[in-house]
Structures are given as C-alpha cells and as structure tokens.
Structure 1
Amino acid sequence: MNKLPYISVDDTLEINMLILMVILSTLGKNRNSTPILNFEKIQCLFYLIKNPSKINKVLRSNDKEEIFIDSKITYTVESQSVNVDILYSRDKLKVVIKSLAYFGFLDVVSDSSNEIKYLTTSKGDEFLNSIDSSYIRTITTLSKKIKPLASQSAQKSIKSINSLLAGKE
C-alpha cells in the first residue's frame, strides 16, 4: 500500500512566507523608522514565533517582561518540539526570503555599516493587511509582544535560545 506524503502545515512555503511577512512588517523598524532586522535576528524571531512556548523563557533570560500567551498555541506538538532547523539552517529561511522578493513583498536595505536589513514593501504590507484570519492576528499579536527582543543583538537572543535548549533555563 502506498502512503501519501505528509507535509506539515508548518513547513509549507506559503505559511512561512506569511509568518516572515508579519515579523518584517511588525518588527522591521525601530521607533525612528530605521530598519533593524538582519538575517540572524530574523532567524531568532522566526524560531520564537513558531515555538511560542519558548518565548517567555527567552524574555525572562534577557531581563524582559514576560507576556501572556494563550495556552491554545503554547501546548501544541509544534510549539513543544525542539526542532531548531529554522534557527540554524540558513537555507530554509533563504527560500522564504527569495519567495517574498519574487512577489515584490520584501525590501532590502544596507545601513551605514553595510549590514543588510530586511523589511516589507508597501505592496507586502497591503497584501498582509488584506488577509483577515485568526492565524495572522495571532502571529501579529505575538510579534508585537516580542518587540523588545527585536531591538537587541542577534547574538544575545541566540545565546538565550541556546541556553534554553541546553536546559540551562
């Protein structure tokens, strides 16, 4: 008997594109409208959004205020999983970034130190705002709540996540 291939919804390109668009749209700029998300920061934030059960532990380890997260999204198999592919595999995120660029939803800028920063284009923001779903609202709410992590260095976030995964948190 042949079994049909199983593709986790979490691994579909379309879902990952939407998650990244929410992150870039919500967290892409600081209060001065300066782009702040480099590739490594995006990896950390993407990992946390996909694993909301880890968010408060990372916030606490960075001396940030904990947030309320609905247990419906923290007590799922995906959220409890220790899959760290998105955190350490640049290839997966590159595919998502290239796809957003292909559709004209991604803007890339270079700052004064020649570091590349990513954010959504106005076309990307329009597209995202046209989608009215509880999933997008949930991801947007989570993104807004982890804003303090977007402003710190990627190295600090990665160190916190690594400590958490090593069981030191």
Structure 2
Amino acid sequence: MTDASNPTEGATSRARGLASSLIGIDHIAVAVKDFEAAIRVWSDEFGFELIQRTHISGESSGMYKAVLRAGALTLVLVQGDSSDSHISRYVEEHGPGVMHVAVQVQDQEQVLDSFRAHGTKPLTGIVHAPGLDQAFLPREPHSGIQLELVSRTGLNGFDNASSLQLHEAMEGRTTS
C-alpha cells in the first residue's frame, strides 16, 4: 500500500523493480547531426573502436547507425536518413545528444510489470530477436531520459532486423 503522505513512495517501489533486476548499462544511443563527423570524433579523438556501421531502411525508422566501444562503454551513434525519420525529428526538436540509455536487466517482464503497476505504460512490449530482447519505456519527463530495457542471451552486438522491428513497435506499426 502506498502512503499518500509520501509522494515518492510509489516511485521508490517502481525503482526497486528496476534496481532489483539491473545488471548495468548496455549502451547509450546518441542522436547526431553529422554522422561522419561524429564517428571521426569518437574514434579518432576519443579512441573508441568502431565495431559496426550500418544503414537501416524504414519509412520513419530509417537511420545510419554506428556502434563504438571503449572498455565497458558502448555508444550507438544514430542519424536519421530522411527528414521523416524519428531520429531526424528528435534532433530537430531537442538537438543532438543522448536519445536513450539502454540498461541490461535480468527479468524484463518483471520490470515492465512493475512500471505498469505504477501507471507507466511501456512504449513497446518485449521485442524478441535471436539472443536479444528489447523494450522501450516512455521518456521520463523530469530528466528527459528514455530507458530501453535489454536482455541478452548470446548476441553481443545489434541485429538490424531487431532494431527495425523495435523502432516500428515504438511507432505503433507492429505489435509484440
């Protein structure tokens, strides 16, 4: 039972749902204005290794994506491939910067259930791909951070088909 005199109690129990299942940060997705320049800065100046570079086609999910890694930190640089891309719209509205933080969790369904129980409706259900399950929560309005929940069972990188499926689910064009 939530104590009405303590407005943070509900948020605390919701956070326990995430915190009890949290493994760590999987990756940070960064929306960029200039894809090539961003790759150069992060690899040449900051010393990150370029792991993967790809283009994902999609009506409003189209993007250029580069996965870079240094030590335990993985960055995913993304740029929309058209003005209709949700990434281009994000950059237009908010400017370049962190789009989301992906956290690796042990029990994704339990975490989603905890958020649902406290009134937060996930943007997607769990999108399953070989070795990788993903789900998105809505952007937290006070910090502007959006969380992606990730569970890995073998895949250490990113699969283009699952990325497209995940972004289409966020746009409400598919169900999972």
- Give your verdict on TM over 0.5: no
Q: Which has the larger radius of gyration?
A: 2
Per the normalisation by structure 2, the TM-score is 0.29
**Structure with the greater relative contact order (CA < 8 A, sep ≥ 6): 1 or 2?**
1
Per the normalisation by structure 1, the TM-score is 0.30
Please state which structure has a larger fraction of its residues in strand. 2
